[in-house]
Amino acid sequence: MIKSKSVWLSLLISLFFISACENAPLEKPTELITIKVASENRLSISEIFEEPEIIELEQCDSCLIGDINKVLKDDSGFYILDRNRAEAIFKFDLEGNFIFKIDTKGEGPGQFKLPFDFDLLENGVELFILDMNSRKFLVFDKSTGSFIREFSYSTFQVENFIAFSNDLFAVEVDGRNTVSEKKNLGHIVNFTLNDTIFKGILDYPKTVVMFYGQEFTKSSHSFLFSRALNDTIYTVLENEFKPKYFLDFGNRKVSTELKILDIMELGQGIQKEASFFSLGRNFENSKYLIFNWANEKEYEQNGIYFKGKSEFYHLVSENSLFRNPFFMDEESVFTFYSNTDRNFSPLPNEYIQKENFYLARFLFKD
């Protein structure tokens, strides 16, 4: 009898420890980094950057850009999306010399109605173009611009994306048909298997209609994602969107009461309350995080967060070319200047007289 009780006691203790182990977290969750954003903390870009290196893009009949919506960089050059005017993707080398243009408009294989977004495969030759109107991705060779293949999707509408491989993508889905309700807008999808691995980013879809930035960003340090009016910046992994930074705007943040209004009332409410909010376009290296935000006086400005000191500063730019960062590594930040920027921050006359656009590289002083 004693032996029987001992066996039962041992069994119960074993079950308790097994249950405890099964319910214990596999790893300590990463702490969300809170950044207190305030326009009073100001820092001139000349205090942390050298004078910019200007990259003048070649001027020719085939390579004139109407406007810039997105720029990506790899070791061979720059890839520029002009969605609104040329409706094409251009490639220039690192010195600004024209390489090729993809403007195969149409409805057949290898053709698109509108190149809405694009991405490069990090360790491959593929350049992916999203044609929202045709619900398909087109794949081109990023060295030559030649067409490789295409594939369609149907389960949901994709609005923005990054590619981890030929099959695995992180996407932002278009949920504007549910403008007053929250929806999981961030998905990790294997398109070959038609398998959604992850759904997250519960948010109001309509904000993208008013404030369209660059939600997915790549740097040498990480892949990041954020949406306008959503104060969380996520690290994008192959199996999830993981919250990393929280932008704390205090009592100046856009309230939930405003977010559920229709689009016109939302815009009016933000102006009336002089709200602060995020606009996306986030880049980081091991020392800094740079992101786009707006306050009551200045729209589409940049902030910088010093990771080592846990300090935020509103970047004050004497140089209009710093308006739109598009790539960041340990040594520098690359930026572009678009037609839209001319309405907010004109360039000096020597730049405006040029037909094609400029890119710039700002080297960190340290």
Q: Where are the beta strands (DSSP E) in 76-222?
A: 77-82, 88-92, 98-102, 117-120, 126-131, 136-141, 147-152, 158-163, 168-173, 183-190, 195-203, 216-218
Question: What's the confidence (pLDDT) of residue 361?
Answer: 96
Q: Tell me, yes or no, if the pTM score tops 0.85.
A: yes
Question: What's the confidence (pLDDT) of residue 20?
Answer: 39
Question: What's the confidence (pLDDT) of residue 323?
Answer: 82
Q: How far apart are CA 306 and CA 364, in angstroms?
A: 13
| Cβ atoms of residues 329 and 219 within 8 Å | yes
Question: What's the confidence (pLDDT) of residue 318?
Answer: 67
Q: Which parts of the chain register pLDDT below 50? A: 1-29
Tokens of 137: 């991705």
Q: How far apart are CA 70 and CA 160, in angstroms?
A: 12
Question: What's the confidence (pLDDT) of residue 220?
Answer: 77
Predicted confidence (pLDDT) per residue in 144-169, tens digit:
999 999 999 988 899 999 999 999 99
Question: What's the confidence (pLDDT) of residue 254?
Answer: 87
Question: What's the confidence (pLDDT) of residue 222?
Answer: 87
Q: How far apart are CA 116 and CA 160, in angstroms?
A: 8
Question: What's the confidence (pLDDT) of residue 4?
Answer: 42
Question: What's the confidence (pLDDT) of residue 7?
Answer: 39
Question: What's the confidence (pLDDT) of residue 83?
Answer: 93
Identity at 285, one-letter amino acid code:
N
